[in-house]
Amino acid sequence: MLGYILRRLLATIPVLFVVSVLIFMLLHLGPSDPAAVIAGDFAQPEDVEKIRVQLGLDRPLYIQFGDWILGVLQGDLGSSIYSDMQVSALMMQRIEPTLSLTITTISFAILVGVPAGTFAAWRAGSLFDRGVMMTAVMGFSLPVFVLGYVLVYLFALKAQILPVQGYKPISGGLWPWLRSLILPTLSLGMIYVALIARMTRASVIEILGNDYIRTARSKGLSTPPILIFHALKNAAIPIVTTIGVGIAMLISGVVVTETVFALPGLGRLTVDAIVRKDYPVIQAMLLVFTVAYVLINLLVDLSYSLFDPRIKYQK
Amino acid sequence: MSDQTSPAAPRSVLAPLRAVPAFVAENIWLSIGIFLLGGLALLSFGAPLFTAFDPVALNVTQRLKPATEGQPFGTDLMGRDVFARVLYGGRISLTVGLTVAFVASLVGLIVGIAAGLIRWVDVVVMRVMDGLMAIPSVLLAIAFMALAGSSIRNIVIAITIPEVPRVARLVRGIVMSVREQPFVEAAVAAGTPDKALVLRHILPSTLTPLVVQATYICASAIISEAYLSFLGAGTPPEIPSWGNVVAEGRSMFLVNPGLVLYPSLFLAATVLAVNIVGDGLRDRLDPQMTKALR
């Protein structure tokens, strides 16, 4: 098992290397000159030059890249041009809302998507099934901010039972925290629910056609254990894969959701950095989000062996 | 000869029209999607037919007016007509969606075919594609926009880049499986030149899944454009697009929710229509994939 984990871990290195090169190139070969951007519209050429030397932008690209990567590997993500703060310090200030929102959204999406998909598969062709599939198509088509504002309109402005926006730290109590996250979670999670429900349904339907399901039924097992222990467990790998792949969508959605609901998280940090052209922060945040995505998918890969022990022994 | 064909001519002109009811009955969702999309395209590209107002004309004396007969959605903070802005805004979404779908499919097709046939391209290019796919697409696009400056052309590039790897992967997979088919092996054995082999034997198998994929790319590109504009890194503020209009209406949401809700509903309806067309095309063109999903 350890060998399997190590092999998988090593396999992420080339991807992460390519990603870091791509991110670095995006920011350094782009059409705009960071030094000129920082200096502002009215700067003299010599000021721009001074900033360039100060930031080390006058050095050859491969040295800048090596410098950046060595720093990152030692935990130094660089510092903001705008506030002079370490990116890691900025992140620590902003990580709680993002982490909270991501955790509530993933939980919500799995808790709703998997049962809905399983039940739809069991009753394929029924009214419930059609309802789930229609809702899934709708879910795919509703941009996060559209659903967000519709929910705010209904639950915060009309019914006035939930806050319009803002984040309450978890240290201030579990209920206020959860209450501030209900609408963001619903708007961010809908597309994720749709994705998971659709994949669950498809893969459970496939499993339900197998002989061992018929055997389980003929030996008198009732439906719930068949669905949970026989069908869902064997259908799990594509579902878990979808959950992992969906994280990329979730990260993009987090940025928009944090803007709609004024949550001071990492997404806002990134958007603010982009607006201010604070390129060390942009570079670091792109890398952080991508590494998070790659690592989550590594965990997903490793979880396969829980559902299918044969995978452990494969080379 | 002309005497014989002329009475038949009107029939041949009407023939496609006669086939419409049968087509609609057979492809009900596809037809609904096309109808909805056609309607939205007509509203946005034919906007001057439906509103006399200029979407960008400021009118400070008419700020935040409620809905009236001629201005069904009222006016925004700058006194601009919201109905006109919503109609004209659709032009950006549809143009960006279609352009990205086309460009991403074309580039992805070329990369995918090259990767499927040439080993070194596969090794090098697909690594880059894997890397691109790992970077969250909206973040990649806003970072690109921030550095490249806001223009419609840059939006198309920013949204196309993350979509290309998805197409390339799809095409590469198809090429690799088609390559092993007996008819391709026979063509190779018969000495078919490479160019003819690709054009005549490999390309046709990729087209159906590609068309279906392009529809979904169109839907996702429309959403991405809206996100970029909403976050202030998309369509230049002087051009109305649904994302822009929502972003501007945001500060006045509590006063007049319509400023945000109307463009949002048009956006959602458009994406829904494109997705329905995609599902309909998939059902019609790719029955195997449909079976896998059902």
- List pLDDT tens digits, range A261-304: 999 999 999 988 888 888 888 889 999 999 998 888 888 888 88
Chain A residue with the nearest C-alpha to that of B255 = A157
On whether residue A161 sits in a domain, the answer given is: yes
Structure tokens at B33: 């999607």
On whether residue A260 sits in a domain, the answer given is: yes
Q: Where are the domains of chain B?
A: 86-293
Cβ atoms of residues A251 and A292 within 8 Å: yes
Q: How far apart are CA A165 and CA A250, in angstroms?
A: 19
Which residue range(s) make up the domain with A6? 2-73
Does residue A57 sit in the same domain as residue A95?
no
Q: Assign residue A160 a region: left if phi > 0, alpha if psi is -120 to 50, beta otherwise? A: left
What CATH number has the domain bearing residue A277? 1.10.3720.10
The answer to whether the CB atoms of B293 and A202 lie below 8 A apart is yes
pLDDT at B228: 92
Q: How far apart are CA B107 and CA B149, in angstroms?
A: 23
Which of A49, A73, A97 represents a domain boundary (last residue)? A73
Cβ atoms of residues B233 and B150 within 8 Å: yes
The answer to whether the CB atoms of A31 and B148 lie below 8 A apart is yes
The per-residue DSSP string of B208-274 comes to HHHHHHHHHHHHHHHHHHHHHHHTTSSS-TTS--HHHHHHHHGGGTTT-THHHHHHHHHHHHHHHHH
Does residue A242 sit in the same domain as residue A143?
yes
Stretch among A171-180, B12-21, B176-185 having the lowest mean pLDDT: B12-21
- Show Cβ contacts of residue A136 under 8 Å, excluding neighbours closer than 6 positions: A193, A194, A195, A197, A198
Does residue A34 sit in the same domain as residue A93?
no
On whether residue A82 sits in a domain, the answer given is: no
The better pLDDT of the pair B232, B17 is held by B232
Does residue A119 sit in the same domain as residue A219?
yes
Does residue A53 sit in the same domain as residue A95?
no
Cβ atoms of residues B57 and B287 within 8 Å: no
Provide the greatest CA pair distance for chain B: 78
Tell whether the model's pLDDT for residue B291 goes beyond 70.
no
End-to-end Cα separation, chain B, in angstroms: 53
On whether residue A185 sits in a domain, the answer given is: yes
Cβ atoms of residues B146 and A275 within 8 Å: yes
- Nearest C-alpha of chain B: how many angstroms from A202? 5
Cβ atoms of residues A18 and B131 within 8 Å: yes
Question: What is the count of structural domains for chain A?
Answer: 2
Does residue A63 sit in the same domain as residue A110?
no
Does residue A66 sit in the same domain as residue A98?
no
Does residue A8 sit in the same domain as residue A116?
no
On whether residue A160 sits in a domain, the answer given is: yes
Residue B225: closest CA among B96, B88, B95, B37? B96
| CATH numeric code, B86-293 | 1.10.3720.10
Q: How far apart are CA B118 and CA A150, in angstroms?
A: 50
Which of A29, A45, A73 represents a domain boundary (last residue)? A73
Mapped onto helix, strand or coil, the DSSP state of residue B57 is coil
On whether residue A209 sits in a domain, the answer given is: yes
Residue B251: closest CA among B76, B61, B45, B73? B76
Does residue A45 sit in the same domain as residue A98?
no
* A295 touches B at CB < 8 Å: no
- List pLDDT tens digits, range A142-197: 999 999 999 999 998 888 888 888 888 888 888 989 999 999 999 999 999 999 99
Closest Cβ opposite residue B230 in set A198, A251, A256: A256
On whether residue A159 sits in a domain, the answer given is: yes
Tell whether the model's pLDDT for residue B7 goes beyond 70.
no
Tell whether the model's pLDDT for residue B62 goes beyond 80.
no
Complex ipTM, two decimals?
0.87
- Nearest C-alpha of chain A: how many angstroms from B227? 7
pLDDT at B3: 47
Which of A73, A102, A133 represents a domain boundary (last residue)? A73
Does residue A98 sit in the same domain as residue A49?
no
On whether residue A314 sits in a domain, the answer given is: no
Contacts of B275 in chain A (CB under 8 A): 137, 140-141
The per-residue DSSP string of B234-245 comes to SS-TTS--HHHH
Distances A19 to B134, B212, B229, B273 between C-alpha atoms, Å: 7, 29, 25, 34
Does residue A39 sit in the same domain as residue A110?
no
Does residue A61 sit in the same domain as residue A101?
no
pLDDT at B264: 92
